Amino acid sequence: MQSPARVLLIDDHALFRSGLRLVLDASLPDLEVIEASAIDEGFRAAVTAPDLVLLDIQLDGLNGLDGLTLIASRWPGTPVIMLSANHGPEAVRLALSRGAAAFVSKAESADRIVAVVSQALLGGAASAAVDEEATDEARLTPRQCEVLDFLCQGLSNKVIARRMDLSEFTVRGHVQAVLRHLKVTSRSEAAFAARQRGLVG
């Protein structure tokens, strides 16, 4: 049995942390969220490298931008999604230039943040999170097309996971990506949109 993906959430606003954790727990139940209010506290809380770091850009003490280098040296290869209330182009540019895999505004909808987290855990955060227009025009991957086909047949994530020999967590990530690509919010809408566009038979 696969162990749950581990996400380290570093933000000095306890209310935002707990709210985001609730959203992630509800949408991605196989996820283990580790909370910290500062980068050094995050290093102590996550003894081994997490699968993903969600990092606030404005922290007391060492801020998120300066902390990116530290996180990269401690956990090479662990993607970092930068969170910020300021989503101006300069903030995005700075975060990405310092190694962030993606940038998400705190003003985004819960579904959008969950979709970005799912993509990051599947290894596709940069294209999924940064350029909205490029993302919308991007094509589905072959695996996502398979998931869409099964979804249109009315199969559950559990059954799709069994058919494709994947974990349910991975299937959920693909489903989120498919919904975002089709600009819909439910599986039934996705099936309808896919048939309209001729994506499935």
Q: Who has greater pLDDT, 54 or 199?
A: 54
In the predicted structure, residue 139 carries a pLDDT above the cut 70: no
Residue range 75-94, pLDDT digits in tens: 988 999 988 876 667 777 77
Q: In what order do the strands lie in the sheet with 80-84?
A: 31-36, 5-10, 52-56, 80-84, 102-105
| pLDDT score recorded for residue 111 | 83
| pLDDT score recorded for residue 87 | 61
What is the pTM (predicted TM-score) of this model? 0.61
| Cβ density class 43-80: b for 16+ within 10 Å, e for less | beebeeebbbbbbbbebeeeebbebbeebbeebeebbb
> For the chain, what is the mean pLDDT?
82
Question: Is there a contact between 52 and 121 (Cβ–Cβ < 8 Å)?
Answer: yes
| pLDDT score recorded for residue 201 | 62
| pLDDT score recorded for residue 63 | 82
